[in-house]
């Protein structure tokens, strides 16, 4: 995975590459998928939910520039793989998932520094805010303002944004009450539930 999927797709932060090489991806997929865990495809976790391909997480974390002191929220944490990888890079990690069955898949493999929390994905996790970094483990059509409000001043957000059928990886930043995103690559990512654009919504 490291040689053929990460280094060939601009995942060039040595810390990210090392973290993804250390975390056993096969422990975060259902038992019948362990033989396929390292393929460059999204892995099914449950009805309508997937673990994104390794390249998606690698690119997002590379651009997010995670610091060892960062307080991080992973939204749509699924089986916990992304949170486990982030825990190799950051200080404190909250893994937010609303489906307890999916969260249980990799619960035993989560590092002690990951705090698993349960609640609606679209609400974020205000109890742990403010966050230096928020990572969406899947694609969304929009980022709710409620979640943006949970970012620390100067905080970052890593997300796959779906617009008009095209998914683009992006990094957002919050500063002095303002928020904006910059896209850096096109890539297909599984969509998280609940983040569809409402009628008349403009981001």
pLDDT of residue 12: 79
Provide, rounded to the nearest whole percent, the portion of the chain with pLDDT above 90.
83
How do residues 59-73 score in pLDDT, each as one tens digit? 999 999 999 999 999
How do residues 186-201 score in pLDDT, each as one tens digit? 999 999 999 987 655 4
pLDDT of residue 198: 64
Phi, psi (5° rounding) for residue 46?
175, 180
Which domains, and CATH codes, for the chain? Answer: 2-186 (3.40.50.150)
38 near 58, Cβ under 8 Å?
Answer: no
Buried b (16+ CB within 10 A) or exposed e, 183-199: eebebebbbbbebeeee
Mean pLDDT rounded to a whole number for the chain: 92
pLDDT of residue 6: 47
How do residues 34-54 score in pLDDT, each as one tens digit? 999 998 889 999 999 999 999
How do residues 2-37 score in pLDDT, each as one tens digit? 444 544 455 778 999 999 999 999 999 999 999 999
């Amino acid at each position: 995975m490291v040689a053929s999927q990460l280094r060939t797709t601009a995942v060039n932060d040595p810390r990210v590459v090392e973290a993804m090489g250390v975390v056993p991806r096969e422990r975060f997929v259902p038992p019948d998928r362990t033989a396929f865990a390292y393929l460059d495809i999204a892995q099914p976790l449950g009805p309508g939910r997937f673990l994104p391909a390794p390249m998606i997480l690698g690119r997002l974390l590379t651009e997010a520039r995670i610091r060892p002191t960062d307080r991080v929220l992973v939204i749509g944490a699924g089986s916990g793989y992304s949170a486990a990888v982030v825990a190799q890079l950051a200080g404190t990690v909250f893994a937010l998932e609303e489906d307890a069955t999916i969260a249980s898949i990799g619960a035993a493999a989560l590092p002690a520094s990951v705090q698993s929390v349960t609640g609606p994905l679209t609400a974020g996790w205000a109890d742990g805010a403010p966050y230096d970094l928020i990572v969406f483990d899947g694609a969304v059509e929009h980022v709710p303002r409620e979640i943006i409000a949970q970012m620390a001043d100067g905080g970052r957000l890593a997300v796959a944004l779906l617009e008009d059928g095209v998914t683009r990886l992006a990094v957002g930043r919050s500063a002095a009450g303002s928020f904006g995103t910059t896209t850096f690559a096109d890539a297909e990512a599984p969509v998280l539930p609940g983040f569809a654009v409402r009628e008349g919504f403009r981001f």
